[in-house]
Amino acid sequence: MFNGIIHNSGIVEKISQGKNSAEIILKTNLIFNKSEIGSSLCCNGTCLTITRINKNLISFYLSKETLDKTNFKFLKIGNTVNIEKSLAYGNKISGHYVQGHIDTTGRVMNINILNKTWIVTFKVKKFFQRNLIEKGSIAINGVSLTISKIKKNRFELNIIPHTLKLTNLINLKKNYNVNIEFDIFNKYLLNLKS
C-alpha cells in the first residue's frame, strides 16, 4: 500500500524485452539494502517486486499483464519513473490509499498553464467514466491528485508547481500515456452496486 506522495524517482538504465515480458533496471538515489529484494515498490503507480539490487540499481520483472495494462510498454532508456516505497504502519498519509494496481492508461489531451499551475486534460476509455468523481482522488503515474472537472470521457487535474518539481509529470506533453489508478473506495462501491 502506498499514498501517492512522490519524493523520489529513478532513471531507466536498461530494458530487456522478452516475448511476453520484460525486465527493467532503474538507477536511483533512494537507498535500498539486500533484504528489500522481494519487496514492493510503486513505479509510475505500478506495484512492482524488486528482483535485484546492485548499489543504486534496482531491477524488476514485468509480466505480460503489467505490459498490457500500463505505460511501461512505452518506456525508453533515460525516462524518469516516479518511485515510492511501501507505507509502514504509523506513517503519515498525506495523499490517499494507492494500491499500485493500474486500472488503465489515459492520454494527455491538453495542457493549459495558469500562473504556474498546469491544468491537464486526460482522456480515458468510455467504460472508465463511471470511476471519475469530481473532487475525488486519482493516482496518475503514482501521484495522488484530485479531479477538478469531469467532461465526457475526459477529466481535468490541476497540478501545482511543487508536484511538478518532484515528479515526472513535468514531462507530460500532448498524447503522452499515463498510468491511472482510480480511488479504491469508489471501485469497491461500484462493485457492490453491480
- Distant-in-sequence, close-in-space partners of 86: CB < 8 Å, separation ≥ 6: 1, 2, 39, 40, 41, 42
What pLDDT score does 56 carry?
Answer: 94
| pTM of the complete model | 0.94
Q: Return d(Cα 67, Cα 32) in angstroms, integer.
A: 25
pLDDT at 119: 98
Residue 189 confidence (pLDDT)? 80
Task: Find out whether 162 and 106 touch, Cβ atoms under 8 Å.
Answer: no
Task: Pick the closest to residue 82 from 154, 173, 164, 1 (CA basis).
Answer: 164
Q: What's the CATH architecture for 8-85? A: Beta Barrel (2.40)
- What's the confidence (pLDDT) of residue 73? 93
Looking at the chain, the domain(s) classified CATH 2.40.30.20 span 8-85, 104-193
Each of the 194 residues of the chain gets a pLDDT tens digit; together they read 899 999 999 999 999 998 899 999 999 999 999 999 999 999 999 999 999 999 999 999 999 999 999 999 999 999 999 999 998 877 777 889 899 999 999 999 999 999 999 999 999 999 999 999 999 999 999 999 999 999 988 999 999 999 999 999 999 999 999 999 999 888 878 777 65
Q: Which CATH class is domain 104-193?
A: mainly beta
